[in-house]
Amino acid sequence: MSFRCYPQLQRVLVTLLLSTVLFGSCAPRREKPQPIEVPKEKTDTLRTEINKMFPGAVPFNEYTDSLLFFLYAVHRIKPEMILLGQSTCVDDVMNTKSPFNGRMIKGPFNFGGLGGLPFTGLTGLSAYAHHVPDSGTALLLVGPHIGYSMEGGWGMLKREGQAHSSTCCGALVAALTKLQKNSIYRQAPSEPDYQEQTLEQLALRHKGQILKSEVPLVTFTKIVNRQVEKAMSSLPEEEARFRYVITIIAVIINTDVGYPDYIWVERMSIYDLETEEYLRNMEK
């Protein structure tokens, strides 16, 4: 049997083919990055280096898998009943490599500005509390990030689509550079660079501790971590319609494209608002 016998069918097929070529190729699409094969020795080296500065850090993806499995298996908390609220840096890498992408959980609701400091204030926390599903779960991921590049070490990162490395967290690196040059002065942060100046003032308050440390950027990142935690501790729960509050105080360690990101969890708790009990409260 030949298509020549079916001129109408032939026309339909040609039209379909042309539409795919013309419109399909014009449509803007984000190319899915090809997975990069990283030799096991290199990922082992990465894990060792990260754990020297952040003992107990684990691949972020594995942590997320275990967390969601544990929440459902032990507490029957379904992913679709969770709203992720994150006070993490505005850096795009926080989203492009986020292990929460493609999960059933809702969100994220973003609190974080530069460095992960929450600049949304009490209004942001209140708005978030009102968005959590009824009888659901508020999952707060709180913390700054730091890059670790196999070539550039701490504070650097090779990003998707770039041949060179860039700083990560750029905002913290910039504040630290100014601190090392003694060019931060005590003053109230102001526009047009309010968020960066807030980080600079924080660095200045801990100048001695940061500059005396082995890796100043790691020390500064951990200081920012505590500051973010403090600012995020006032989630309004009085009129909450949700049941659980899960808080993860952590540092996210971003690595070169193709390598797994890591998470160093300093504290993690699950609080049941109904029974007013901690179901889990872990501290490093």
Q: 170-180 vs 194-205: helix axis angle to the nearest 10?
A: 50
Bridge partners of 272? Answer: 244, 277
Residue 147 CB, nearest approach to Zn ion (Å) = 9
The residue written with tokens 């960066």 in the block is 196
Q: Which residue number, 166 or 269, has a Cβ lying nearer to Zn ion? A: 166
In the region spanning residues 133 to 172, those forming contacts with Zn ion, defined by CB under 5 A, are 169
What string marks each residue from 166 to 185 as x (binds Zn ion by CB under 5 A) or -?
A: ---x----------------
C-alpha to C-alpha distance for 86 and 101, rounded to whole angstroms: 13
β-pair type (106-110, 82-87) = parallel
Answer for the pair 85, 145: CB distance below 8 angstroms, yes or no: no
What string marks each residue from 79 to 118 as x (binds Zn ion by CB under 5 A) or -?
A: ----------x-x---------------------------
Nearest CA to 221 among 171, 166, 257?
Answer: 171
Residue 246 CB, nearest approach to Zn ion (Å) = 23
Q: Does 251 bind Zn ion (CB under 5 A)?
A: no
Residue 44 CB, nearest approach to Zn ion (Å) = 27
Q: Which residue number, 175 or 246, has a Cβ lying nearer to Zn ion? A: 175
DSSP state string for 1-31: --GGG-HHHHHHHHHHHHHIIIIIHHS--PP
Residue type, 99: P
Binding-residue total with Zn ion (CB under 5 A): 3
Residue 284 CB, nearest approach to Zn ion (Å) = 22
Residue 231 CB, nearest approach to Zn ion (Å) = 16
- Binding region for Zn ion (CB under 5 A): 89, 91, 169
